[in-house]
Amino acid sequence: MDPQGRALGPATTRFTDYVGTVAADDAEAVMDRPSLYELAQIDRDRYTIVGIELTVDGPTTAAVYAFDRSMHSVARLEEIVELGLSRGQIPVVRFEIPEVDAGEFIRHAFRRISVRLVIQDLRDQPLIVSEPSQPRPTRHAAPNRFDHRSLQT
């Protein structure tokens, strides 16, 4: 591993108009469906996946960031945490996932995923949610081309 590697920071885009958070639950092991380790084509006996990146900018790309347990003589996640605390960083290796379809990747990698974005200028302000003061019109509403249920597994 390159000791002069770059730190993995927050996600960015060209303008980063929206920023936010993501939460996800690991996918459950299902017969005939590849695991995240299989999608990334890495050895789960050697590596522990500690980060995931998905980018849509023209083509969709995905990568995982994995900790090499054999290189550091570490077996358990708790030991990876301890190593990071003692060194102030955790060395990882980036593995590109070939031929990625964003929807399929999300379905295979996660049981559930939630993405919440807000405009950058309001990122540090609490947004208080209330109900609309008037019902939304239904007569002239444009159809929703993105069905959020398609991301559920």
pLDDT digits (tens), the chain, 153 positions: 445 688 988 888 899 999 999 999 988 877 777 888 988 999 999 999 999 999 988 888 999 999 999 999 999 999 999 999 999 999 999 999 988 888 888 888 888 999 999 999 999 999 999 988 888 787 655 555 555 444 544
pTM: 0.76
What is the rounded distance in angstroms from the CA atom of residue 10 to the CA atom of residue 1?
A: 21
Q: Which residues contact 70 (CB under 8 A, 6 or more apart)?
A: 46
Q: Which residues contact 7 (CB under 8 A, 6 or more apart)?
A: 89
